Structure 1
């Protein structure tokens, strides 16, 4: 799963309750990525500093993308 706009990683952490999930959190803000990396310690997660409009992930590697707007 790709978590677009992952911010602090709070929702990424919640997604880890799904069996077998692997998550890539993407955010353009370095301070959010740093915070998330420091607070979500799980081998199934990686956080990437990037703009969602310019992601360079292989299509076959990411089946789902999630972005929540409030």
Structure 2
């Protein structure tokens, strides 16, 4: 099975916004502050889907376990 080329994994700002559920403005802001992984292709800003997936996993906050009181009740 052929692996897709790196360029075929790259998506635009509007596509990255749709993929992450963020607005294009937020994507541009995060890009300029280097808070999200991106690739420069000439003057264009592109996003590697695999890197976005890793970034999403790294920034996922897991819920805290519920607090259990001495009586055994979940608070």
TM-score, shorter chain, exceeding 0.5? no
Higher relative contact order (CA closer than 8 Å, sequence separation 6+): 1
TM-score w.r.t. the length of structure 1 is 0.30
TM-score w.r.t. the length of structure 2 is 0.28
Whichever structure has more helix as a proportion of its residues is: 2
**Could you say which structure has the larger radius of gyration?**
2
